[in-house]
Structure 1
Amino acid sequence: MTYRVMLRMEIKEGMGREFETVWVAIGDSVTSHPANLGQWLSRSEDETGVYYIVSDWVDESGFRQFEKSERHIEHRQKLHPYRSGGGMYTMQVVAHVPSSKGPATHEEWEAAR
Structure 2
Amino acid sequence: MAEGPFRVMLRMQIKPGMQEEFERVWLEVGDSVTSHPANLGQWLSRDEEEGVYWIVSDWVDEPRFREFEHSDRHLEHRTRLHPYRSGGSMTTMRVVAHLPGAASAGSHGEWVGVR
TM-score (norm 1): 0.90
The yes-or-no answer on 1:35 pairing with 2:51 is no
Alpha-carbon shift at residue 107 of structure 1 (Å)? 7.4
State the SS of the aligned residue for 1:76. helix
| Number of matched pairs | 106
Residue aligning to 1:68: 70
Residue aligning to 1:90: 92
Matches within 5 A, 1:2-21: 2-21=5-24
Structure 1's consecutive aligned runs of 4 or more residues displaced over 6 angstroms after TM superposition are: none
Structure 2: gaps (5+ residues):
111-115
Identity across matched positions, percent: 69
CA distance in 2, matches of 1:32, 1:38: 9
CA displacement, residues 49-82 of structure 1 (integer Å, 9 cap, x when unaligned): 0000000000001100000000000000000000
Structure 1: gaps (5+ residues):
109-113
CA distance in 1, matches of 2:74, 2:108: 29
Residue aligning to 2:113: none
CA distance in 2, matches of 1:107, 1:22: 18
